[in-house]
């Protein structure tokens, strides 16, 4: 595997379910990010982890719970979601968080539908 | 706060046509500017960037010039191909000594017809 991978690619869940999204980067980076992409809205940064420490929580509801066990893996745990949470969830990584020349590399995303 | 405004799509062009996608920004400091591209079923990829005023970013025939006086970073390509069909995102980033993040526009969907 190369680059940034995300699983699953598609997920349908009910409002009472608990599920997790997984992201893995094979680039040796130290920063990882979760974004939410909704139709006709700008990409919304949700969380930033730098060297496994959370450095940004962009006022995300507590029904989204991130976990970063090491610099290569990032999870997003989901519980009691709402239909308006349906979106494409993108993971990204960069060498470190910060520095204008640190390009972010994105995964293909998980398309989440909440019924 | 910082923001990016880009032209709304969708944009449909014929192959070999000239492309311009407008992007303007509002920022309190001196941002770096980016264009990202998202092909169908894939994540975003950096297309080009410029880190200071009057810089020109270029890649794959696409160009954009950082215009501080007009706070713009318009994307151009002289002759588009069907393979350029994708969603294009303009973004800015301001260095805040380790707490940097990208601010994206809403994206412009481009469709090239043969």
**Share of residues in chain A with pLDDT > 70 (%):** 94
d(CA A16, CA B61): 48
Q: What is the mean pLDDT of residues B95-108?
A: 76
Rg of chain B's alpha carbons, rounded to an integer? 14
pLDDT score of A99: 57
Q: What angle do CA B35, A8, A112 make, to 5 degrees?
A: 70
What number of helices (H) and strands (E) belong to chain A? Answer: 0, 11
Of A43, A55, A100, the CB nearest to B104: A43
Block mean pLDDT (10 aa), chain A, length 115: 89 93 94 90 89 87 95 95 94 77 85 94
Predicted confidence at residue A56, as pLDDT, reads: 83
B93: pLDDT strictly greater than 90: no
Q: Which 3 state secondary structure label does DSSP give A84?
A: helix
Backbone angles phi, psi at B42, to 5 degrees: -125, 170
Question: What is the DSSP secondary structure assignment for residue A11, as one 8-state letter?
Answer: E
Query: Which residue of chain B is at minimal alpha-carbon distance from A105?
Result: B45
Structure tokens at B81: 């191909």
CB nearest B100 (choices: A41, A42, A97) = A97
For position B50, what pLDDT does the model report? 94
Q: What is the pLDDT at residue A4? A: 94
pLDDT grade, residue B48 (50/70/90)? very high
Subunit contact B99:A56, Cβ cutoff 8 A: yes
> Of B36, B98, B104, which is closest to A98 when you measure between CB atoms?
B98
Dist CA A89 CA A8 (whole Å):
11
Give pLDDT, residue A90: 96
pLDDT of residue B53: 93
Chain B CB contacts of A6 below 8 Å: 43
How many interface pairs between A and B have CB atoms less than 8 angstroms apart? Answer: 61
Nearest CA in chain B to A56: B99
Residue B100's pLDDT is: 62
Instruction: Find the mean pLDDT for residues B39-61.
Output: 92
B 3-42 residues inside an 8 A Cβ radius of A? 4, 32, 36, 41-42
Residue B8 CB-half CA count within 13 A? 3
Note the pLDDT of residue B61: 97
> What average pLDDT does the segment B48-76 reach?
96
Quick: pLDDT tens for B1-24.
889 999 888 999 999 999 999 999
Which chain B residues touch A50 with a CB distance below 8 Å? 98
- The helix (run of H) or strand (run of E) holding residue B86 is strand B86-93
Measure CB to CB from residue A42 to each of B45, B49, B106 and give the nearest one.
B106
């Amino acid at each position: 595997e190369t680059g940034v991978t995300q699983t699953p690619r598609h997920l349908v869940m009910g409002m009472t379910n608990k599920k997790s999204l997984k992201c893995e980067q094979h680039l040796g980076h130290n920063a990882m990010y979760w974004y939410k992409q909704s139709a006709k809205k700008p990409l919304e940064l949700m969380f930033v982890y730098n060297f496994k420490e959370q450095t940004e929580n962009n006022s995300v509801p507590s029904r989204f719970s991130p976990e970063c066990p090491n610099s290569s893996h990032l999870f997003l745990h989901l519980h009691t979601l709402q239909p308006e949470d349906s979106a494409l969830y993108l993971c990204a990584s960069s060498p470190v968080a910060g520095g204008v020349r640190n390009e972010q590399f994105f995964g293909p995303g998980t398309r989440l539908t909440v019924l | 706060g910082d923001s990016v405004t880009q032209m709304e799509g969708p944009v449909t062009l014929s192959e070999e046509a000239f492309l311009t996608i407008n992007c303007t920004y509002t920022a309190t400091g001196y941002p770096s500017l980016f264009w990202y591209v998202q092909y169908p079923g894939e994540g975003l990829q950096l297309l080009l960037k410029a880190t200071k005023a009057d810089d020109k970013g270029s890649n794959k025939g696409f160009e954009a010039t950082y215009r501080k006086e007009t706070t713009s970073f318009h994307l151009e390509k002289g002759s588009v191909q069907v393979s350029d069909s994708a969603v294009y995102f303009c973004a800015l980033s301001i260095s805040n000594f380790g707490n940097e993040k990208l601010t994206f526009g809403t994206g412009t969907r481009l469709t090239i017809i043969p």
